[in-house]
């Protein structure tokens, strides 16, 4: 598997074009990275395939410039064609074992989990990190099932791979995850939906560092 520093997972941003305004997605992603985002997941639903691939190649190049890991949500074929750093799959997406067979051992594969059992299974099957949640209510995924703080903490305790908290995490609630054992958070609107993407990322990174490391850095 591709080696990557789990510190890259501190502030993991998932793209969403709802807040683009007059900017391109690439421009927004660059602002997010400049603000402190350390991992990018490209998430597109319903985009024409050639456009998706073009966008993936553009953002892959940008992330390469900044040495930020870049994965595709769900679409293993686009990840392969774009030579992304990897893919993130949910419980209802392509099985991890199949994704690994297609992408190879040197790519990052993250898996969503909402139970300890799902997280352990993902680890056994070769996942590189777990996205645990949804830890809060979220407007970006209508079918998301909330998990408790205790479940999040148990997932972090039982697996030996990095765990990030996903689902509805923002600057106002991230401190509630202190002591859970996560190594970072995934954010969508908390980065891209705040108007000033770079400033939002910088503020969220600072609070997340305090939450994860327990000290102001």
Query: In angstroms, rounded to a whole number, what is the distance separating the alpha carbons of residues 146 and 78?
Result: 29
- At residue 73, the 3 state secondary structure works out as strand
Active-site choice (31, 38, 43, 114):
43
pTM: 0.95
- Residue 141 annotated in active site: yes
Question: Which positions ≥6 away from 7 have C-beta within 8 Å?
Answer: 38, 183
Q: How far is CA 66 from CA 15, 30, 61, 63, in A?
A: 17, 9, 9, 5
Q: How confident is the model at residue 141 (pLDDT cuts 50, 70, 90)?
A: low
List of residues 6+ apart from 83 with CB closer than 8 A: 60
How far is 201 from 132, CA to CA, in rounded Å? 21
Neighbours of 217 (CB within 10 A): 9
| pLDDT of 155 above 60 | yes
Residue 140: what pLDDT?
Answer: 60
- The DSSP call for residue 7 is G
Rg of the chain, C-alpha, whole Å:
16
Reference 144, options 154, 131, 153, 157; nearest CA is: 131
Residues whose CB falls within 8 Å of the CB of residue 36, separated by 6 or more in sequence, listed in order: 11, 201, 202, 204, 205, 206
Among 31, 38, 100, 112, the one annotated catalytic: 112
Average pLDDT over residues 164-174: 97
Interatomic CA distance for residues 144 and 26, integer angstroms: 27
Q: Evaluate if residue 39 carries a pLDDT over 90.
A: yes
Q: Which residues are annotated as a binding site?
A: 41-45, 73-74, 93, 112, 138-141, 168, 188-189
Binding site membership for Mg(2+): which residues? 74, 93
For residue 40, what are the β-bridge partners?
13, 70
Domains, the chain, in order of start with CATH, read: 6-213 (3.20.20.70)
- Residue 83 DSSP label: T
Active site residue 112: yes
Catalytic-residue membership of 178? no
141-165 mean pLDDT: 92
DSSP string computed for 46-68: S--HHHHHHHHHHHHHHHHHHT-
Query: Residue 113 phi/psi, 5° resolution?
Result: -150, 145
Residue 117 has pLDDT above 90, yes or no: yes
Residue in 2, 6, 17, 141 annotated catalytic: 141
Q: Which pLDDT belongs to residue 3?
A: 63
């Amino acid at each position: 598997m591709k080696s990557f520093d789990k510190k890259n997972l501190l502030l993991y941003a998932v793209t969403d074009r709802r807040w683009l305004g007059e900017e391109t997605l690439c421009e927004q992603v660059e602002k997010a990275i400049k603000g402190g985002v350390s991992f990018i997941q490209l998430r597109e639903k319903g985009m024409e395939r050639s456009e998706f691939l073009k966008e993936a190649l553009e953002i892959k190049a940008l992330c390469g410039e900044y040495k930020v890991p870049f994965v595709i949500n769900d679409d293993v074929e686009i990840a392969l064609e774009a030579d992304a750093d990897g893919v993130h799959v949910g419980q209802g997406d392509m099985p991890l074992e199949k994704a690994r067979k297609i992408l190879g051992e040197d790519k990052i594969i993250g898996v969503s989990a909402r139970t300890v059992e799902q997280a352990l299974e993902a680890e056994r099957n070769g996942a590189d990190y777990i996205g645990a949640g949804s830890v809060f209510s979220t407007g970006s995924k209508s079918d998301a099932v909330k998990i408790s703080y205790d479940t999040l903490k148990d997932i972090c305790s039982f697996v030996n791979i990095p765990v990030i908290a996903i689902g509805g995490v923002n600057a106002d609630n991230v401190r509630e995850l202190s002591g859970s054992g996560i190594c970072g958070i995934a954010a969508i609107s908390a980065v891209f939906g705040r108007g000033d993407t770079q400033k939002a990322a910088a503020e969220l990174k600072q609070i997340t560092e305090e939450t994860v490391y327990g000290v102001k850095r």
